Amino acid sequence: MLTIKNLHAELEEEGKKILKGVDLVLEPGKVHAIMGPNGSGKSTLSYILAGREGYEVTEGSAELDGVDLLEMEPEERAAAGLFLAFQYPVEIPGVGNMTFLRTAVNAQRKARGEEELSAGDFLKEVRAKAKTLKIDADMLKRPVNVGFSGGEKKRNEILQMAMLEPKMCILDETDSGLDVDAMKLVSEGVNALRDGKRSFLVITHYQRLLDHIKPDVVHIMADGRIIKTGGPELALEVENNGYADILAEEGI
């Protein structure tokens, strides 16, 4: 269970306040969506949960199954079961996608005291999972995300998620830049991971992703806070009317 309480954060260098009291509780097996205007702090929230440097948490807490996330290194958070699908997946020239995946899978296994996956088992698993995401052998061989199209990068994020089998998945605008077919592939990839225990925090601007990945709860984030929480109908309201009414209602 992910529990975020009154989380305040600012940019370390400029001291600019970005998160101004985020509260959120995400139970196992649930899908929560976060929507909100650009610049409201959605990506920042996801980065802070994943442990990116450059932010200072000035107040509040974030726990995964009762463990303080904010005290951990990014790799420890990953081993604890947190996964962030990046809004902008990073290119890593010189590191093969396959090497990257195997290193990540085995590092997490090692951190959890499990045996490393044998080369054969690993290959079998990657190939099967890549196939359902229509990721071909060439994409697995190429350097991580280098020369990948926007859609390929996003599918690659989902492949990593599928291989790492996290318990808490955060998807930051995984739908942006995807055409209809790619959106379907990605959604199917996500839905295949839904098992009643795994939780998802889906950051998106669009209802269309939520047609495929059905949320239990929808939050609206603005100016560093969650200003409104509701059911799936809230996403429809945003789709039809934009954020203006909601923002006005909350006095922003």
Partner 1 sequence: MGRAETLKALRADAAAARMAGLTLPQGAAWANAARQEALARVGAMGLPTKRDEYWKYTDPASLTAGEAPEAALFTPDERPMFDGTDRLRIVFVDGVYDPEMSDDMSGENLEIERLSTAMAKDIHWSKDLYGKLETEGHDPVERPLAALNTAFATDGVVIRATGKVSRPVNVSYLHRATNSDAILHHVIRVEKGADLTFLENGPAAARLSKVMEVDVADGGAFHHVRTQGRDQERRAVTGSFARLGAGSTYKSFTLTVNGRLTRNETIITITGDEAVAHVAGACVGDGKDFHHDDTVFITHDAVACESRQVFKKVLRNAATGVFQGKILVKPDAQKTDGYQISQSLLLDDDSQFLAKPELEIYADDVACSHGSTSGAIDETGLFYLRSRGVPEKEAIDLLTLAFLAEALAEIEDEALAEDLRERLESWLKRHR
Ligand X SMILES: Nc1ncnc2c1ncn2[C@@H]1O[C@H](COP(=O)(O)OP(=O)(O)O)[C@@H](O)[C@H]1O
Residue 43 phi, psi dihedral angles, 5° rounding: -65, -40
Amino acid present at 177: G
Pairing of strands 31-35, 217-222: parallel
Only segment of 38-46, 64-72, 75-83, 189-197 that touches ligand X (CB under 6 A)? 38-46
108 sits near partner 1 (criterion: CB under 8 A): yes
Listed residue (100, 97, 37, 96) closest to 246, CA to CA? 37
Left, alpha or beta for 242 (phi > 0: left; psi -120 to 50: alpha)? left
150-164 and 97-111 helices, crossing angle to 10°: 30
For partner 1, which is the closer residue by CB, 80 or 183? Answer: 80
Q: Which listed option, ligand X, partner 1, Mg ion, none, makes contact with residue 79 (CB within 5 to 8 Å by class)?
A: partner 1
Q: Which residue spans within 52-111 are E strands per DSSP?
A: 55-64, 67-68, 82-85, 92-96
240 sits near ligand X (criterion: CB under 6 A): no
43 sits near Mg ion (criterion: CB under 5 A): yes
189 sits near partner 1 (criterion: CB under 8 A): no
Q: Which of 1, 57, 95, 117 binds partner 1 (CB under 8 A)?
A: 95
21 sits near ligand X (criterion: CB under 6 A): no
Please work out the total of residues on this chain that contact partner 1, with binding judged by CB under 8 A: 30
Q: Which of 30, 32, 42, 225 binds ligand X (CB under 6 A)?
A: 42
Pairing of strands 31-35, 143-144: unpaired
Span 62-91, contacts to Mg ion by CB under 5 A: 87
For Mg ion, which is the closer residue by CB, 43 or 97? Answer: 43
For residue 25, give the 3-state DSSP assignment.
strand
87 sits near partner 1 (criterion: CB under 8 A): no
39 sits near ligand X (criterion: CB under 6 A): yes
Give the pair of three-digit tokens for residue 38.
Answer: 């650009």
Only segment of 32-40, 67-75, 221-229, 244-252 that touches partner 1 (CB under 8 A)? 67-75
Only segment of 34-42, 58-66, 138-146, 227-235 that touches ligand X (CB under 6 A)? 34-42
For residue 15, give the 3-state DSSP assignment.
coil
Q: What CA–CA distance (Å, rounded) separates 111 from 82?
A: 13
Amino acid present at 235: A
Q: Which listed option, Mg ion, ligand X, partner 1, none, makes contact with residue 100 (CB within 5 to 8 Å by class)?
A: partner 1
204 sits near Mg ion (criterion: CB under 5 A): no
* Binding residues vs Mg ion (CB under 5 A): 43, 87
